[in-house]
Amino acid sequence: EEQSSLLLKSSSLFPPPQGVKLSYGTAGFRADASILKSTVYRVGILAALRSLKTQSVVGLMITASHNKVTDNGVKIVDPSGGMLSQEWEPFADQLANAPTPEALLSIIREFVEKEKIPFDGVQSAEILLGRDTRPSGESLLEAAKQGISSIFGAIALDLGILTTPQLHWMVRARNKGITATEPAYFQQISSSFRCLIDLIPNGAKINKPDSTVVVDGADGVGGEKLEVLKNILTGLVVEVRNSGKGEGLLNDGVGADYVQKEKVVPRGFGSHDVGLRCASLDGDADRLVYFSVPADSSSNIDLVDGDKILSLFALFIKEQLNILTKKGNEKSTNNFEAHLGVVQTAYANGAATDYLKQLGLEVIFTPTGVKHLHEKAAQFDIGIYFEANGHGTILFSESFLSWLEARHNELTSESEGSEQQKAAVRLLAVSKLINQAVGDALSCLLLVEAILQHMDWSIHKWSELYQDLPSRQLKVKVVDRTAIVTTNAETVAVSPPGIQEAIDAEIAKYPKGRCFIRPSGTEDVVRVYAEAATQEDADSLANSVAKLVD
Ligand code: 16G
Ligand code: ZN
C-alpha cells in the first residue's frame, strides 16, 4: 500500500497543534496563523478527495478575510464555484482534529469507502490554489500542496495571490470549460460594465466630475487587484487608497467590516473627503460597503451598507424586467414570468426589509453565512442576496438565462435598439458582470457604479431610498456559546430555556424594538443585535439583552 505509507510519511511532518479543537465554521477553518500548518495540509487532502469524488476541479483558498493580519484560514471551493457541500463539513472537522498520522489514515480510509471515492491512482484530481496577501499565506500554501501531493493522481495549480471571489470564479469557469485566468476575469467584468455604461439613457455621462469613486482597499488583496482593474476600465475613474502597497497594516482601522461595524471613516479618509462617493472592501474582497463623509467634521460616516446595495440592485433588476416583459407585447409567444426574490438575514435593517416589501418583492430570511443565503437565492429565477455586512450577489437560473438569450436574439432581429432589446442586453450584461459563484466586492462595485450612472444618482440620493433604523451590535464573551441555540433564521433563541421570554420582555419596552442573539460562527462570543426608533433605545435594548446573556 504505497498510498497509505505516503500519507503516513507526509502527515508525520505536520503534527496538529496540541489542545486546540478546530471546526470548519461559517467560512472554513480560521485561527492564529502559527497553528494552522497541519490544518491546511489536511485541507489539501480534503480538497484532493473532493476533486476525486466529483471528478471536477475544486479550489482551496487561504485567507482570514477581515480578521487581523496574524490570523489565517482555509476553505474549499466546490466545483460549482460555491462553498464546500455542507455534508462534507463533519469530515473536514474529523480530518483537522485527528491526533496522529494513523488516526488520520483510518478516517480517510473510512470516508473514502463510505463516499465511494475513486481512490485508485488512476482517476485524477485537480485543485486550484489561491491566497490573500497575508505574510503567512506563502508557507501555508506550501502545506496545502504537500497535502494534495500526498494523494495519488492529485495535482495542485498555484494561482498565487487572488481575491476569494476570483478563485471561486475561476473554479466555476474551469468546470464550465471557460478560460479561467485573471485576465479573463478582468476582461469579463470590465466589458460587461462597459456594456451597461454604453446603454445609459440619454447619452453617456462619462467623465462627469463625480464619476470618481474613492475605494478603501483594506490594505489587502482587493486594493491590489483594483489597482490593476482600474487601468482597463473605461467609463469610471477609481482612486484606490489603502491599496496594500504602503505602510498600512491589513484590516487595521480599514476595510468593510470595520467601516460597517464602527460606522467611522477608515484610515486615510477624513474631512477632505466630504461629499465624495467612497467604498470599502474587506481583506479578501468578498464584501463591499459604501459611505460618505458628512460635513459635520466628526469621524462619523453616512453608511450605505449591504442592505442598500441589495435595494439598489433590486430596483434596477425589477425595472429592467418590467420593461422586458411589459404587457402589450403578447405578440411574442416567448414570455416568461420571471420569479424575482431577495434573501436577507436577521441583521438586515428593518427599514430595508420594509422598503423591499413595499417594492412588491418577495423577501426571505436565512441564518447568517453565505452558504445559507446562496442556497435560497438559487431557488429563484433571479435571486438577490445580501448580508448587511456587504456580502452578496445576484444569481440567475440557467432556465431564465436561456430564455433571456433567446428573447434577446428575437428582439435584436425584430427591433434592435428598442427599449425592450436594451433591457435584455442590460440583464445579460449584469449576469456576466456579477459573480455567479459568490459575493464579489469588485464586480459589485462595478454594478453599483453602472446603476448609479444609469439612474443619474448621487450617493446621497441612493442613501435616501430609506432611512435606516438606529441599531447596535454588541458581543458578549461567555463560557460556552453553544449553550445558545436559535431557530427561525436566528430570530428566536430556543435555549437556554426562558431566555427568549426575557428578551421579548425587553423588546416590548421600546417602540419599533427588535432584538436577537446568536452564537458567532467565527469567534468565541455571543452576538447581540438590537434595533429601535432612537439610537438611545437601540443601545439600551442591546445592553439589557447583553446582560441576560452574560
Ligand atoms: C463569515 C461569513 C459571513 C458571515 C460572518 C458572520 C462567509 C463566506 N462569510 O465571515 O457570511 O456574515 O461569518 O460571522 O460565509 P459571525 O458568525 O462571527 O457573526
Ligand atoms: Zn471576506
Q: How confident is the model at residue 203 (pLDDT cuts 50, 70, 90)?
A: low
For residue 323, the SS3 value is helix
Res. 119: pLDDT tops 90: no
Peptide bond into 496 cis (omega under 30): yes
Give the tens place of pLDDT for each residue, 509-533: 999 999 999 999 888 899 999 999 9
Q: How confident is the model at residue 45 (pLDDT cuts 50, 70, 90)?
A: very high
Q: How far does residue 37's CA lie from ligand 1's centre (Å)? A: 23
Q: Where are the chain's structural domains?
A: 2-161, 186-304, 307-463, 471-549
Q: How far is Cα 152 from Cα 150, in angstroms, rounded to an integer?
A: 6
Instruction: Provide the pLDDT for residue 327.
Output: 62
- Ligand 1, atom 5, residue with closest C-alpha: 369
Instruction: Provide the pLDDT for residue 25.
Output: 82
Closest atom, ligand 1, to C-alpha of 525: 18
Closest atom, ligand 1, to C-alpha of 370: 15
Instruction: Provide the pLDDT for residue 210.
Output: 61
Instruction: Provide the pLDDT for residue 211.
Output: 77
Arithmetic mean of pLDDT, 468-477: 95
Instruction: Provide the pLDDT for residue 222.
Output: 98
- Pocket test of ligand 1: the residue of 370, 374, 387, 527 to mutate, having most ligand atoms within 8 Å of its CB, is 370
Q: How far is Cα 388 from Cα 390, in angstroms, rounded to an integer?
A: 5
Q: How confident is the model at residue 230 (pLDDT cuts 50, 70, 90)?
A: very high
Q: Where are the beta strands (DSSP E) in 377-423?
A: 382-386, 392-396
Instruction: Provide the pLDDT for residue 1.
Output: 80
The sheet with strand 340-344 has its strands ordered as 362-365, 340-344, 382-386, 392-396
- What is the length of the chain? 550
Q: How far is Cα 278 from Cα 240, in angstroms, rounded to an integer?
A: 10
- Ligand 1, atom 10, residue with closest C-alpha: 27
Ligand 1 pocket by Cβ (under 6 Å): 26-27, 65, 368-370, 387, 389, 391, 520-523, 527
Instruction: Provide the pLDDT for residue 317.
Output: 98
Res. 500: pLDDT tops 90: yes
- DSSP 8-state secondary structure symbol assigned to residue 273: G
CB 128 within 8 A of CB 56: no
Give the tens place of pLDDT for each residue, 243-269: 999 899 999 999 999 999 999 999 999
Arithmetic mean of pLDDT, 14-38: 93
Active centre residues (catalytic): 65
Arithmetic mean of pLDDT, 342-350: 98
Ligand nearest to the CA of 84: 1
Q: How far does residue 100's CA lie from ligand 1's centre (Å)? A: 31
Q: How far does residue 207's CA lie from ligand 1's centre (Å)? A: 37
The residues near 151 (Cβ < 8 Å, ≥ 6 apart) are: 3, 7, 45, 48, 49, 52, 125
Ligand nearest to the CA of 372: 1
Instruction: Provide the pLDDT for residue 550.
Output: 85
Q: How far is Cα 303 from Cα 459, in angstroms, rounded to an integer?
A: 10
Instruction: Provide the pLDDT for residue 434.
Output: 98
Angle at the Cα of 400 from the Cα atoms of 395 and 405, rounded to 5 degrees: 110
Q: How far is Cα 120 from Cα 126, in angstroms, rounded to an integer?
A: 15
The CATH-assigned architecture of domain 471-549 is 2-Layer Sandwich (3.30)
142-146, 207-211, 266-270: least confidently modelled range: 207-211
Closest atom, ligand 1, to C-alpha of 26: 15
Q: How far does residue 164's CA lie from ligand 2's centre (Å)? A: 7
- Ligand 1, atom 19, residue with closest C-alpha: 520
Residue 357 Cα distances to 51, 310, 349, 351, 362, angstroms: 41, 13, 13, 10, 7
- Fold: same for 186-304 and 471-549: no
Instruction: Provide the pLDDT for residue 123.
Output: 80
Give the tens place of pLDDT for each residue, 316-343: 999 999 999 886 555 555 677 899 999 9
- ipTM for this prediction: 0.98
What are the beta bridge partners of residue 155? 126
Domain 186-304 has CATH 3.40.120: yes
The burial of 493, by beta-carbon neighbours within 10 Å (0-12 exposed, 13-18 middle, 19 or more buried), is given as buried
Ligand nearest to the CA of 251: 2
The pair phi, psi for residue 250, each rounded to 5°, is -45, 130
CB 251 within 8 A of CB 193: no
Arithmetic mean of pLDDT, 54-72: 97
CATH of domain 2-161: 3.40.120.10
Closest atom, ligand 1, to C-alpha of 369: 11
Q: How confident is the model at residue 231 (pLDDT cuts 50, 70, 90)?
A: very high
Instruction: Provide the pLDDT for residue 328.
Output: 58
Angle at the Cα of 197 from the Cα atoms of 193 and 200, rounded to 5 degrees: 145
The residue among 362, 358, 321 whose CA lies nearest residue 341 is 362
Q: What is the mean pLDDT of the chain?
A: 95
Q: How far is Cα 273 from Cα 277, in angstroms, rounded to an integer?
A: 9
Q: How far does residue 315's CA lie from ligand 1's centre (Å)? A: 26
CB 111 within 8 A of CB 153: no
- DSSP 8-state secondary structure symbol assigned to residue 274: B
Q: How far is Cα 40 from Cα 165, in angstroms, rounded to an integer?
A: 19
- Pocket test of ligand 1: the residue of 26, 132, 373 to mutate, having most ligand atoms within 8 Å of its CB, is 26
Q: How far does residue 360's CA lie from ligand 1's centre (Å)? A: 28
